[in-house]
Structure formats: structure tokens, C-alpha cells
Structure 1
């Protein structure tokens, strides 16, 4: 190789400046002239390779940026969707919890209804009444924390886990209460608990009083209820007419026999609508109010006898006219 390079000729370059300046002469080996274009070509090739690599890198970078942007937008979309889903789930949970409160309130209403049913017929209530005012909502706004949401979910889950047993228990109790009420209703129908006339104005109570005709103390064997002539007189309980007719002191009267040795008497009637041996139902009209016999004005003398002895009607009369308890009317009269 060295011999080849040595054998190559040298080239002389002459530079002639303007004016009187001496000429410049350069001697360049032929090998150097050959190497320069080669180096330039190599530099162009290397530069081209770097340029292509740079362009390729830019394209890859742009592609990665597009993929990253697309992935970021997709992630943001998914995140927004999940946040919206979480918000909807939280809203559904709150609504479910409110429904649970509504169900619980309805169960309390049913419990109260059961107690009212029992109270209506004189049975002891199963649970004490719970009074409350559920009208109106408000307050300062506070965002619920994750802990609040988790606590609400746990509480709601516990409620719905226990509600099945509560509903079954309530169903059994309502069925039992229905049977008790029906039984008690039958007992009440056979007991003189129905207010016997339309008026509720009591003019004389049971017991010792001043007789209106003699002005001397005497025993009053029933209660007197003032009214208008022709008002209906009702059977206080289911029973059979034991006697009906007229007596000088009783006037027109009816006596009705009931279960458990109880007899009710209705005196001073204007007219009698039932006859001896008739079966009468509680609340059925059996006569019309009047002032016959030993009477100072239109009224009904109502009497209750237990095993042949006159007793105070007050413990028997439970319901008065238009739903007014008879014992309340009696207490008002006593006051």
C-alpha cells in the first residue's frame, strides 16, 4: 500500500495574485486529492444516516405522543365515567337508605295501627306509641365523606338484612291481633257497650239520688239520658228480648237478655219495636224514646243487671254517640 501511494504523482497548484506580488505554489499529493472527495462523500452519507435516524425518531416520538394523548383522553373519559358511576351509586345508596327509613316508618305506623286496634277494643297495646314530626327538612350543606358513605351502606345493609324477620314478625302479630280483635269484638257485641240512644246528655247517674217525685233519697238503678220524643233506642248488645210491654212506673219498656247473666232494660219508651223472643243485634233499633210511666220528660232509663242485681252501666258502656266514649260523657256529667 505504501509503495502504491509513493508511486502516485504529486500535483502542484500555482496561485497568481494581482499586482506585483510573487506567485504562490502548492504541492499536493495525489493521494490527498483522492482522499478529500472520499471523506466528503463519507460525511454526506453519515449526515444522511443521522438525518434519516432523526426523522425516524421524530416520527416515532410523534406517534408516541399521539398514543399518549389518546391514552390520556381515554383514561380521562374512563375516569369521568367512573366518577359519574360512583356519584350515581352514592346517590342510589342515599335513596335506598331513605327508602329504608320510609319502610321503617311504615312499619312503625303499622305497629301503631295494631296498638290502636287493640286499644279500640280494650286490648293492651303490643308496643308503646311513638310520636314524631317528620314534616320539614333543612340545615347547612355538608358534603358526605367516604366514611359517611361507607357507614350509610353498612347501616342500610344491616337494616335490609333484618327487615325480613321484622316484617314476618309484624305479619304474625297482625294476624294474631286480628284474631284477638275478632274475638274481643264478639265479646263486645255480647256485652252492653253500645250507646243506647242518639242523645249523649245524661240527666241522672246510677246510685243514690233525690227522687224527683218525692224529694227524698232513693236508689236509682240505671242512668237517665235525655232526648227528643221519637229518637231511636238501640240494643246495647246482641241478645234476646226477654220481656216487652207496659208498667205504670216503667212505662213502655223492653228487657233484653245477653250472655254471662246480663240483662239490659230500656224504660219510658214512646213505643216498642221488638217483641218477646225476638233476636236483636247490637245497635239495632228496638224502641223509640219517650216519657211514658213515672217520668218528668222525654228520656231513656237504661239499666244493666248482672245475675239479677242492678249494676252501674258505666263499666259496660265503652262507645258513645258519634264515637264519643260513654265513660267520658259520664265523667263530664259527674264534673
Structure 2
């Protein structure tokens, strides 16, 4: 009975290996079979759960990867746009630098025209009449006031504030592998670009203002400079002792009163003689009365004459600058000693040179 119950709790398996071979009989308890089946069921369930979890994780990774790719694509587009705009900004910055360089040149020219021409040159007079002098001074003051309104200060240097984002060193491959913590702050970049463009717009507006206002002012200053350069108010020699002035005087040869048409400035043989203003040499010759002489034609039907020179250093037809050496002091022609006879004529008539020039306080003229 016990043996029969024991056999009922076991499963018997028979293995037939062939017709001529004996049958192999194996007995396995039902408990072992149940345990094996339970274990197999558990393994299958664990495998299924693992596959499900893996699929969910793969799906989440796929979604995250697609999101990251989209984010990276947007950043790449932003960087490409920034690189394109950086090229435009660089080109505009270079253009603005060239403009500011032109402005600096114009500024220097304007200062040279206005301020240098405004400096007194050995107490010289700029016109024969007080009214003309007042007009010149008023024009000069107006030029200075207009220059101050343009805020003529020094410019240059870099004009674009550099941004902190190193967009030119962007690497497309590394962008896909960077974490979200290293991505570009779009708001910050946009703010920096906004500031940069604001700077450029301000510079462009400033340039347009200068470009509109400065050329007429420069042209006016050039006309003023040309007028001053053509005015014979430069003392014509390093000698400075006036021995005979314009007007009636005792003639040293005839011992009688005669009209003297210029200034006699006593000096030493060989002292330099300068052009009182820019102009054209109309005569450079010699005769018994004037000795070696030079005539120069200037603006406003003015002419200057330099007589009794020991040497002439310019030729007829030559263009001369204001202050240029044209000869040397001497005592040729009708002369009693080394001196310069200096005349200024207007419309062919002699006028008092002291209306234009005055003797310097020192013998050396700059």
C-alpha cells in the first residue's frame, strides 16, 4: 500500500532506445516536476518583464535622442545664423573703421585750418580796413563755434564690443555630444547682438552727421586758409629794423622830399628774404635802379615787390608758398647800404605795407 502511494507521487519516464536494446525507465517525483515548472514559469515571466522594460527604455531613449537632435539642429541653425551675422558685423565694422579714419583725417585738417590759421603770426594784420578785419574775425569765430558743435574729439580704436560666445570655434560633432548644461543661452546671445547692432547704428548715425556737416565746413576752412595764404601778411625777412616807412621822406640821394612807396628794412648782406604770401612770380630780374628784384602777384589784385637783393632764388612764372625763401638781402641798384625795399601794391598802386605786416619783436621768424 505504501509502495503504491509512493509510486503515485512519482512520474515514470520510459526511454526506448531501439528494438534490440532494453528500455530505460526513469522515475521523477511530482514535487520536483512542480518545482521545475514553477521555475520555468518564473524565468519566462522575468524574461517577458525584462523585454517590456527594455522596450520602454529604448522608446524613451529614442524620444530623448530625437529631442536632442532637434535641439542640436536648432542650435546649429542659431550658430550658423550668428556666424553669418558675425561676418556682416565684421564687414560693417571694417567699413566703420575706414569711415572713422576719414573722420579723423577731416578733423585734423579742420583743426589745422581753423586753429593754425587763427594763431597770430608776429602781430600781422589781415586786411587794410578795420571792417574787413572784423569780417575775417567773425568768420573765424563762426568756424570755431561750428567745429565745437561737432564735438571734435579724438576717435578710433575698436568699435565693436567683443561677445563672450566663441561662436567661431563651434564644432558640429562635439555639439551632439555636449550635455544640455553647456548649450548656448539664446537670450544672452540675442541681447549681446542687440547691443552690438545698437552700437553700429549709433556709429552709422554719427558718421552720417559728420559726412553731412564736415565737408562744407572743411571747404569753408579751405577757402579761409587760401585767403589767408594769399594775404601778404608774412614779415619778408629775418631783419626787423625799419629805417624808412611808407610816405613822404627825405630822399638820400636828392636831399629833397619824395614819396617812398614801401618799407626799407636794414639788415646784413645774405639774410634770407621770404614771400609775404603765396602767389606767382611775375618778374625776377635786375636793373640799375632796383638792383636784383622780384615781383609776386597774389589774390585780390595784390602784388608784393622785393628790391635791392643780393641774390634772387626764383624765376619768372614760378609758384611760391607763403614764407618760402625767394632771395637774399643785399645792396644792389640805387641803395646806400644793405637793406630790403618791400612794397605792397593793390591794382598797381602802392599802399602802406604796415596795413598788412608788422615788424616782429625778434629777429628770428618762424
Fold shared per TM-score above 0.5: no
Select the structure with the greater relative contact order (CA < 8 A; seq sep ≥ 6): 2
Report the TM-score when normalising by structure 1. Answer: 0.45
Report the TM-score when normalising by structure 2. Answer: 0.41
